[in-house]
Amino acid sequence: MNDDRVEAVADLGGGVAMPMVGFGTWRLRGNSAYESARYALETGYRHLDTATMYRNETEVGRAIRDSGVDRREVFITTKLPPGNAGRERATIEASLRDLGTDHVDLWLIHWPPGRGASPRVWEQFIQIRDAGLTRAIGVSNYDPAGIDELVRTSGQRPAVNQIPWSIPQYDPRVLAAHRERGVLVEGYSSLKGTNLRDRNITEIAAAHQVEPAQVVLRWHLQHDIAVIPKSSHRDRIESNFALSGFTLDDAEMTRLDGLARH
């Protein structure tokens, strides 16, 4: 494995490439959302993760415009709140208005709406993608059975499933299930879900002279899991993106895998 994973992009099909390291924006609101997203873009992030529910699309959009980075170079993800099922078109139009763009790059069903996977919502997603309002579509917080239901009814698979993922949540069976289905796993709450003071992590971090959070994020990338760390601190925004200067060897990967609860 080479050490360029931070520049790595995932092929979502249809010519859509998603940077494997994005910037998470949950709980960032108002000026803090604007400043953090601006700084993330200045640092080099080219993938921003937002959602209708985060109520920061306006600030994220303004940060992109003010950054001077070409819109086409920034991968934007936003999400449909499950309560907006049945109002898909109006919801994405509001997201686009707030973000100040004519399309997003990835639109996710934030959670399965109601019971089941909601093939009717998925049908709307397909139409909205085909109309060009989003370049790719996917889901979040789905299990493989829910993904199978969408594929069975529409013949089209989600490009991505954004799910909680962290070292304690490591489950090779879940990863394999997504891989078999051609669905990219994008992990969320990767830092929050991991004890950054765990001795196994701090020792590996010390050996590479990096922060424990960098070890956690690098571990994800080496498992081909996209990451979207959030921070409102500049030093962390920077270090969470500095993942290319070191590689975890097989023994270190196995040691970290061994911290899983499964």
Ligand X SMILES: NC(=O)c1ccc[n+]([C@@H]2O[C@H](COP(=O)([O-])OP(=O)(O)OC[C@H]3O[C@@H](n4cnc5c(N)ncnc54)[C@H](OP(=O)(O)O)[C@@H]3O)[C@@H](O)[C@H]2O)c1
Residues that are catalytic: 54
SS3 at position 54: helix
Interaction pattern, residues 35-74, with ligand X; x per rule: CB under 6 A? --------------x-------------------------
Minimal distance, residue 109 CB to ligand X, in Å: 10
Which residues, at least 6 apart from 198, have a Cβ–Cβ distance to it below 8 Å?
167, 212, 259
Q: List phi, psi (to 5°) of 66.
A: -70, -20
Show the tokens assigned to 186.
Answer: 């994008």
Footprint on residues 6-25 left by ligand X (CB under 6 A):
24-25
- What region, left, alpha or beta, does residue 182 occupy, with left being phi > 0 and alpha being psi -120 to 50 degrees? left
Count of C-beta atoms within a 10 Å radius of residue 149? 18
- Does the footprint of ligand X cover residue 140 (CB under 6 A)? yes
Cα–Cα distances (Å) from 12 to 31, 48, 66, 105, 134, in that order, read 32, 16, 28, 10, 13
**Least distance (Å) from ligand X to the CB of residue 150?**
17
As given in the structure block, the two tokens for residue 109 are: 């069903």
Which residue number, 173 or 197, has a Cβ lying nearer to ligand X? Answer: 197
Q: How many residues bind ligand X (CB under 6 A)?
A: 25
Binding residue (CB under 6 A) for ligand X from 29, 152, 233, 262: 233
Contact pattern for ligand X over residues 160 through 199, marking x by CB under 6 A: --x-------------------------xxxxx---x---
What is the closest distance, in whole angstroms, from the C-beta atom of residue 201 to ligand X in the complex?
11
- Is residue 146 a contact residue for ligand X (CB under 6 A)? no
Looking at 58, 141, 156, 169, which residue binds ligand X (CB under 6 A)? 141
Nearest of 3, 4, 58 to residue 33 by alpha carbon: 58
Q: Is 113 in the site for ligand X (CB under 6 A)?
A: no
Neighbours of 71 (CB within 10 A): 15
- Give the distance between the most distant pair of CA atoms in the chain: 52
Binding site for ligand X (CB under 6 A): 24-26, 49, 110, 140-141, 162, 188-192, 196, 211, 213, 228-233, 236, 239-240
